[in-house]
Amino acid sequence: MPTVLDTANLLNDALVGSPLERIVEMPLLNTRQDVWTLGDWRPIFPAPTPRPAPDLQRMVLKLREWTGWSARQLGDVIGTTHTTVYGIERGRRVTEGHSGDLRRHIADAYDVIERIFLLGGRDPNVTARLLETAPLGQRSGVEELQAGKPSRAYLAAIDVLRPRLPGLLVADHPRQTGATAALHE
């Protein structure tokens, strides 16, 4: 009958020590089937989880939700008519030839307004006010979006939210183009 000490040595040798006494063949990669196998095991891959891309319909609906704007107001901001905004909300496809840069204008407005909505405490009234109010000596965020300058629209909204105070570190010169980082992450 083996003692406790002998059992411990046997387990130690089995777990740590001596090499196997038989030759283990390397499994071959089988690529002849539709699913590759490695030896006798088939790899199990998790099911892909599709992530919906932000489409125009969802973006337009979110823009109106975040700002409380009518279709006409949003159409003025992105450079189209209210009937086009209603059409996009109902799922109508936007054709490249007719709409020009409408996709880019919607995407730019979406990026800016999403950030301003978060800065405004997720309040549509505050978000609309931040975009529609012009900071001292500058254009409003809405005017900058209409001009196709989303980074300036974001800066204008930030200046309305937290106006620059005169002091030691604030310059008298206006901001220059390219002084901020891109809006995408």
Instruction: Render pLDDT for 104-137 as a digit per residue (tens, 0 to 9).
Output: 999 999 999 999 999 999 999 999 999 999 998 8
Higher-pLDDT residue of 23, 107: 107
Round the average pLDDT of the chain to a whole number and report it: 78
Is 45 domain-assigned? no
Residue 66: the pLDDT is 96
**Distances in Å between the alpha carbon of 147 and those of 22, 28, 78, 105?**
76, 62, 9, 10
Is 111 domain-assigned? yes
Residue 185: the pLDDT is 47
| Rounded average pLDDT over 149-165 | 91
Neighbours of 84 (CB within 10 A): 20
Is 154 domain-assigned? yes
Is 185 domain-assigned? no
Is 170 domain-assigned? no
- Flag the least confident range among 7-16, 37-46, 71-80: 7-16
Residue 78: the pLDDT is 94
Domain range enclosing 117: 56-161
State the first-to-last Cα distance of the chain, in angstroms, to the nearest integer: 69
Is 104 domain-assigned? yes
| Residue 50 identity (one-letter amino acid) | P
Higher-pLDDT residue of 52, 47: 47
Supply 18's token pair.
């001596």
pLDDT-derived band of residue 165, with 50, 70 and 90 as boundaries? Answer: confident
- The total number of structural domains that make up the chain: 1
pLDDT-derived band of residue 16, with 50, 70 and 90 as boundaries? Answer: low
| Residue 118 identity (one-letter amino acid) | L
Is 107 domain-assigned? yes
Q: Which residues contact 14 (CB under 8 A, 6 or more apart)?
A: none
Supply 1's token pair.
């009958």
Is 13 domain-assigned? no
